[in-house]
Structure 1
Amino acid sequence: MALLSSSSPRLLLRSFPALARPPRAAYHDYIRILTPGGGTVRLPLNNPHFVGTASSRGERRQQEDFYAYAGLSLDPAELALSFKKMHGIDWDPTSLPPALARQVMFVGIYDGHGGSTVSQFLRQELHGLFENVNQSRFRKLGGYFRRFTGGALSSWVDKMLSEEREAKECGATASIVLLKSLDNSGFFQASQVALTVAHVGDTRVLLTSTEAGRVTPMTENHHADARVESIRLRRMMGGLTTDSFGEIRWMGVLANTRCLGDLKFKPYGVTPEPEVRSMVLEGPKWSHITLISDGVSSVVSDEEVSDLARGALSPKHAAERILSYAEDMGSDDNMTAIVVPLAGWGKITGPDRTKELRDYRVKGMQGSERQRGRWM
C-alpha cells in the first residue's frame, strides 16, 4: 500500500514468520471528507499537500528510519468516551456519516537502532495493531487512550517481537500522532481537531502555531539522564556511563531508556510504555505538526524546524527543506522529517526569526571536513 514508508511498500514479513497479522484490518491509504451535497469523497494520503515526507540514509550503511501513515477506523463510542473523559467534550458521533465518525488519522515515525528489524515491523504493523487492540475491557476505563496508557498495545508489541531473535539485540524509538477531526472536514482543514501523541525514545513531535511560528514540543527525549527517566531508573539495577563522544548511556549501551524491542534490557529498566499527551486544537490557530528522527533533531533546533516550513510550497517541500538543512549541518545519521498540515497551514505571522542564524550556521559549515566529504 502506498501509505506505508520510505522502503518498498511490498516488503514481506519474511523476517517475522511467527507474527500473525491483526484480523479484519480496516485502515486505508486515504481519508474521507463530506461534500457539500452530503456525500463523501476519498482523498489519497500520498498527496504531498496532505502529508509531506523526506528521508535519507545519510552516511550510515543501512536505513533504520521508517514511517507510516493511514486512515484508521475506530469505534465512535470509544472515541466519544475518550473526548469526554480527557477534555470534557460532548462529541456526538451520530452527527456524522458512520465512516467519518470512525475515521482517525495515524502518523508514525520509527527510528531503529542496532538493526532495522523492529523499526520495519512497526512501520508495517503498528497502525493495524492499534486499530485492532481488543478494548472491550478498557472502554469503561477511558476510551481509546487506554490502548496506550493501559499498557495493552506496548506489551502486545513486545510480546510479538519476543518471537524474533534479532529483537533481543535491537530496538526502535517511536512517536505516534493521532488526529481526529471533530467536524465533517479533513484533519488539514478542521476547525476543531483532537490531537494525541504517544512517544518513546528521542524521535520528536513539534506543534507549530500560526502566531509567529511558535513551537510546542509534544515529546520529551527519554534519555537516561532526563528528569522523568532518572527518577524512574533509580529503582532499577544498572547504571549510567559516558561514551567517548560524551553521551550518557544506560547499562553502557543504550541512549534511550524507553523503546520497543531491546528485549534483553527490559528486566533492567528499559520500558516500552509510552508517554501520552492529548490536546483539542482550534485548527486555524495551528500551522502544522512535524515529526523528526534524531538524525535531524541532533543538529537542528525545534525553532529552526518550525521556521524552515515557512513559505514552503507544500508539506512535502517543507519536509525536504528540513532534511536538506540537517544535511548542511553535517548530520551523518539516518534522517526523516514528516510534515502534517493543519487548517492554519501557510498562515504563520511575523518574521522568520531563525533565518539569520541558519544562514550563519550554513556559512560556518562550508569547507568543513564533513561538508567536503559529502560533496566529493
Structure 2
Amino acid sequence: MSTAALITLVRSGGNQVRRRVLLSSRLLQEDRRVSPPCLSSTSESRFSRFDPDGSGRPATWDSFGIWDNRIDEPILLPPSIKYGKPIPKISLENVGSSSHIGKRKENEDRFGFAQLTEEILYFAVYDGHGGPAAADFCHTHMEKCIVDFLPKEKNLETVLTLAFLEIDKAFASHAHLSADATLLTSGTTATVALLRDGIELVVASVGDSRAILCRKGKPMKLTIDHTPERKDEKERIKKCGGFVAWNSVGQPHVNGRLAMTRSIGDLDLKASGVIAEPETKRIKLQHADDSFLVLTTDGINFMVNSQEICNFINQCHDPNEAAHAVTEQAIQYGTEDNSTAVVVPFGAWGKYKNSEINFSFSRSFASSGRWA
C-alpha cells in the first residue's frame, strides 16, 4: 500500500471515531434529561402507585389527579388493594352536620356519626314525633345494637334490619315499664347508613327521613318514604285493621294520627300495621363520580327537592358549611318543622360544582314536596 493511501485511510478512520464519540455524547445527554437517576435496589421497592415520590407519606387523591377536592384525605391502602382501586379514608372530622328547631317548641330531631369498627362507619338521623323519647332512645342505643350484631352477621343489610327490630322491641319494653304514658305514642323515623372499607355503602330507613347520594352532580335517592300514599303500605295497614284518613290539607295519616307507615315506637299503632322493619339498599361507591352522602329529615325534604339539595351542597367549600346551607335554605323556603342534615364527603367532593345556581323564592311548592 502506498504512503498516500495509508494516510487517507488513517484520516478516514479518525473521522468515523470522532463522529461515534460525538453521537454517543449527544445520546448520553438526552438520556440524562429524560431518564431519572439510577436507584439502588433498596430504594426501588419504595416506589409504587400509592407512594409515587418514595417519601413514605400516604398518597392522596391529588396524587392521582382524580378530583377537584378541598379536603385532603389519605388513601385507605389495605381496602384499596382489596377492591383494586384507590379509596379515600373518610374522616369523621370532615363530616358536616346541622340541626335547626324551626318554629317548633322543641327540636325532636337527633343525629349521629361514629366509627363502629376499624372498617365500618355509622351515620344516622332520627326525626321524633309525639315527643323526643323514641328519637333519644335510638340515638343512645342504636350504635351499640349494631356493634353487637356485627360479629354474628357479615351482611350489613341484615345487620341493620335486626338492629332496627331489636331497638323497637327494646323501646317497647322501656315504655311499658315507664310511668310516663306518653311514651306509648312517641315514635321516630330512622335513616341509618353504614360505610364499610370506604366503598360499601348500606342504608336502612323507616319513615320519611331520606338518604341521597350525589353522583356526577345528580341525586340518587337511596330511600323511599313510607307514607300511606304508597299502595303496598296502605294495603298492609288495611290488612292489619288500620285505616287511612286525610287531614284538612290533604295529607294521609294512619288512623288519622301518623303521617308514616313505618317507624320505631308508635306502640299504640303496631296492631294497625305500623312496623319497624326497614327497607334497605346496598351500593358500591364510585369515588371518581360520587361527591357526598346527605341524610335529611322531612323539615328539609318537604320544602327542598333532591336536586336542589345537591346543588346547594355542591356550591359549598366544606361539608359543615354545606349542612348549614341546606337547613338554612329550608327555613328561608318556609319550613316550620325541625330540619337536620348530615353531609358525608366522598371522592368527587368539589368536582361537580355548578358555575351558577338560581335561588328562586317563588318556585313551585308542589315541585319541592315530599314526593320530589
When normalised by structure 1's length, the TM-score is 0.69
**Would you identify which runs of 4 or more consecutive aligned residues in structure 1 move more than 4 Å?**
31-36, 349-352
User: Shift in Å at residue 350 of structure 1?
Assistant: 5.7
- Which one of 307, 327, 331 corresponds to residue 331 of structure 2? 327
Letter matched to residue 218 of structure 1? L
- Which one of 108, 122, 145 corresponds to residue 64 of structure 1? 108
Q: Is this contact kept in 2: 1:111–1:119, CA < 8 A? A: yes
Q: Is this contact kept in 1: 2:157–2:282, CA < 8 A? A: no
Q: Is this contact kept in 1: 2:315–2:354, CA < 8 A? A: no
User: Shift in Å at residue 324 of structure 1?
Assistant: 1.2
Letter matched to residue 116 of structure 1? P
The answer as to 2:207 corresponding to 1:197 is no
User: Shift in Å at residue 148 of structure 1?
Assistant: 3.2
Q: Is this contact kept in 2: 1:170–1:261, CA < 8 A? A: yes
The answer as to 2:311 corresponding to 1:267 is no
Secondary structure (helix, strand or coil) at the match of 1:252 reads coil
Q: What does residue 122 of structure 1 align with?
A: 138
Identical aligned residues as a percent: 29
Structure whose CA Rg is larger: 2
User: Shift in Å at residue 359 of structure 1?
Assistant: 2.6
CA distance in 1 between counterparts of 2:219 and 2:242 reads 35
Secondary structure (helix, strand or coil) at the match of 1:158 reads helix
- Which one of 282, 285, 298 corresponds to residue 281 of structure 1? 285
The answer as to 2:192 corresponding to 1:180 is no
Q: Is this contact kept in 1: 2:314–2:354, CA < 8 A? A: no
The answer as to 2:174 corresponding to 1:154 is no
User: Shift in Å at residue 351 of structure 1?
Assistant: 5.1
CA distance in 1 between counterparts of 2:90 and 2:286 reads 22
CA distance in 2 between counterparts of 1:144 and 1:252 reads 35
Q: What does residue 111 of structure 1 align with?
A: 127
Q: Decide which structure has greater strand share.
A: 1
CA distance in 1 between counterparts of 2:333 and 2:125 reads 22
Secondary structure (helix, strand or coil) at the match of 1:283 reads coil
When normalised by structure 2's length, the TM-score is 0.69
CA distance in 1 between counterparts of 2:324 and 2:282 reads 28
The answer as to 2:252 corresponding to 1:248 is yes
- Which one of 295, 298, 303 corresponds to residue 302 of structure 2? 298
Letter matched to residue 220 of structure 2? T
User: Shift in Å at residue 349 of structure 1?
Assistant: 5.9
CA distance in 2 between counterparts of 1:204 and 1:245 reads 23
Q: Is this contact kept in 1: 2:157–2:203, CA < 8 A? A: no
CA distance in 1 between counterparts of 2:203 and 2:286 reads 17
Q: What does residue 81 of structure 1 align with?
A: none
| Distance change >3 Å, CA 57–CA 259, structure 1 → 2 | same
CA-based RMSD of the aligned residues comes to 2.5
Q: Which runs of 5+ in 2 are unaligned?
A: 1-72, 79-88, 366-372
Q: Deviations over 1:282-327 (max 9, x none)?
A: 1121001111100011111111001001231100011111111101
Equivalences for 1:1-376 in 2 at 5 Å? 45=92, 47=93, 50-73=94-117, 99=118, 103-133=119-149, 136=152, 139=153, 143-149=155-161, 152-162=162-172, 163-164=174-175, 165=178, 166-181=182-197, 187=198, 193-209=199-215, 211=216, 213-348=217-352, 352=356, 355-356=357-358, 358-361=359-362
Secondary structure (helix, strand or coil) at the match of 1:327 reads helix
User: Shift in Å at residue 227 of structure 1?
Assistant: 3.0
Q: Deviations over 1:186-208 (max 9, x none)?
A: x4xxxxx1110000000011110
Q: Deviations over 1:1-49 (max 9, x none)?
A: xxxxxxxxxxxxxxxxxxxxxxxxxxxxxx997689xxxxx9972x3xx
Q: Decide which structure has greater helix share.
A: 2
Q: Is this contact kept in 2: 1:205–1:291, CA < 8 A? A: yes
CA distance in 2 between counterparts of 1:278 and 1:326 reads 28
